[in-house]
Amino acid sequence: MSGGDFVRRDRAWHPPAFTPQYKTSVLRSPRRALLSLEQSVGEKTGPVFTPDRLDPLDNDLLANFQTGGSPIGERIILHGRVLDEFARPVPNTLIEIWQANAAGRYRHVNDGYLAPLDPHFGGCGRALTDGEGRYHFRTVKPGPYPWRNNGSDWRAAHIHVSVFGEAFAQRLVTQLYFEGDPLIPLCPIVNTIPDPLAIDLLIARLDMGEMVPFDCLAYRFDVVLRGRRSTWFENRPEGN
Amino acid sequence: MPVDYLKETPSQTAGPYVHIGALPSVAGLPVRTQEQLHVVAGAASAGERIRLEGIVLDGSGAPVKDAVLEIWQADGTGRYNAPGFFGWGRAAADFKTGEWFFETVKPGATPWRDGRMQAPHISVLIFARGINIHLHTRAYFSDEAEANAADPVLRAIEQRHRVDTLIAERGARGGQIVYRFEIRLQDDAQETVFFDM
């Protein structure tokens, strides 16, 4: 195992567990304080996903439902880098995404929203970052959709993002939003995050530099995982 | 001004449709149907074959039927990332019952920071709608009483009755060793211990 401990999570920056404006959190939030401990080998290691676990179309949501047709909606490239808090790239790590279709409907047995399924869209993708922490997907921009929270709240258009990093301590699941969406400030789930600067990190930016002419627009979304400290003066027993 | 670093991307709930990305065949997608992410042990994995199963309960005692769990563990000899043993798994709670399970091996003991040994345990992460940032706990084993008593993490739990919330109970069913691990997200007396590590 290489490297030191991961920087502590700033729990005031993340959403707290108990956020009554998001009603489902009320009964699913621990009441006891988290037990704060130093990391050991199981927190400082994690699964190593290799390219043979992935299919070549896994990062292309325009094609990976494999129906031969193309989904309806605004075609976009979603790309960015996975970095740590020290701005070091996180290479060869698994990033997974899932999303609703352009009408705001998920292809999921439990989604009963009246908007139609798209016969050519699954909404599931994954990729490994390259040596410099870069990733890219091709998909459609998802639509907003209503949900039962306070009557009919509306989710801002979003894509769910899951990242592993190099250790279980870095595991992160989040959602990205789209620059300019007027539903962002109205969304109770966005607003579980207390600091507007933190919310700002979840907003993918229109990236005209990477748009493909006469094909698709591009959005950029960078992910930052916990950083790993140096171990300059630390002298610990073998096996740490 | 202190030195400025990048801030970690804030977490958001995995939501009710997490299965689409995490376990697409559970969501009903006809893709990746060969993946069996809840099966962690392969033919060459070192260690005793076990089934780790349980349920996640909310603050009213109702099962959390849309939870997704991930585990990370050493092999039977206490090695992480060991050859022939991937060590990571993912499982969904059953939509009707809330029950989940993994097929794996019982891990060996692993070192703590000071060279003492930690009792065998499996790290468990819980993701679900209503959980804004994933919860991190550990499943220890009821037949390891001596090792559990010496475990530096279990010893750090001040309210001693809560240690039991991290112990999976050993049993057998149909010739298979089964450990049961019930996770209580919110409970006055027996809320599962969750970590910030």
pLDDT digits (tens, 9 = 90+) for A56-65: 999 999 999 9
In tens, the pLDDT along A84-94 reads 999 999 999 99
Q: Average pLDDT of A235-240?
A: 53
pLDDT of residue B71: 98
Probe site for chain A from B6, B9, B69 (most A CB atoms < 10 A): B9
> Rounded to the nearest 5°, which phi and psi values hold at A97?
-130, 155
| DSSP conformational letter for B39 | B
Pairing of the two strands B68-72 and B88-92: antiparallel
SS (H, E, C) A210-222: HCECCCEEEEECC
Q: Which residue of A has its CA nearest to B31?
A: A65
B195·A239 Cβ contact <8 A: no
User: What distance in Å separates the CA atoms of residue B51 and residue B106, rounded to the nearest whole number?
Assistant: 9
What CATH code is carried by the domain that includes residue A134? Answer: 2.60.130.10
DSSP-based three-state secondary structure for B196: strand
User: What distance in Å separates the CA atoms of residue A100 and residue A123, rounded to the nearest whole number?
Assistant: 6
Residue numbers of A annotated as active site: 106, 145, 155, 158, 160
DSSP letters, B73-91, are ---TTS-TT-TT---EEEE
Residues of A (75-134) whose Cβ lies below 8 Å from B: 83-87, 96-100, 106-111, 122-126
A41 close to B110: Cβ distance less than 8 angstroms: yes
Distance from the B8 Cα atom to the nearest Cα atom in chain A, whole angstroms: 5
pLDDT category, B1, cuts 50, 70, 90? confident
pLDDT category, A239, cuts 50, 70, 90? very low
Q: Is the pLDDT of residue A159 over 50?
A: yes
In a domain, B108, yes or no: yes
pLDDT of residue A237: 54
Q: Is A208 on the interface with B (CB under 8 A)?
A: no
ipTM of the complex: 0.97
Distance from the A201 Cα atom to the nearest Cα atom in chain B, whole angstroms: 6
Lowest mean pLDDT among A181-185, B43-47, B58-62, B181-185: B43-47
A30 close to B135: Cβ distance less than 8 angstroms: yes
Q: Is the pLDDT of residue A1 over 60?
A: no
What domain count does chain A have? 1
Its domain, for residue B175, covers 3-184
In tens, the pLDDT along A121-139 reads 999 999 999 999 999 999 9
Q: Which residue of B has its CA nearest to A173?
A: B11
What CATH code is carried by the domain that includes residue B44? Answer: 2.60.130.10
Q: Average pLDDT of B25-41?
A: 95
In a domain, B161, yes or no: yes
A170 close to A164: Cβ distance less than 8 angstroms: yes
A65·B31 Cβ contact <8 A: yes
Q: Is A146 on the interface with B (CB under 8 A)?
A: no
Q: Is the pLDDT of residue A231 over 90?
A: no
Q: Is the pLDDT of residue A198 over 90?
A: yes
Its domain, for residue A105, covers 57-229
User: What distance in Å separates the CA atoms of residue B3 and residue B7, rounded to the nearest whole number?
Assistant: 12
pLDDT category, A235, cuts 50, 70, 90? low
Which position has the token pair 């990733």? Answer: A135
Q: Is the pLDDT of residue A230 over 90?
A: no
pLDDT category, A2, cuts 50, 70, 90? low
In tens, the pLDDT along B93-139 reads 999 999 999 999 999 999 999 999 999 999 999 999 999 999 999 99
Q: Where are the beta strands (DSSP E) in chain A?
A: 35-36, 75-84, 94-99, 124-128, 134-140, 145-149, 151-155, 158-163, 172-178, 203-206, 217-220, 223-225
Counting residues of chain B whose pLDDT is more than 70, the rounded percentage is 100
In a domain, A36, yes or no: no
In a domain, B194, yes or no: no
In a domain, B191, yes or no: no
Distance from the A133 Cα atom to the nearest Cα atom in chain B, whole angstroms: 15
Which position has the token pair 């030191």? Answer: A4
Q: Is 0.90 topped by the overall pTM?
A: yes
pLDDT of residue A48: 97
What domain count does chain B have? 1
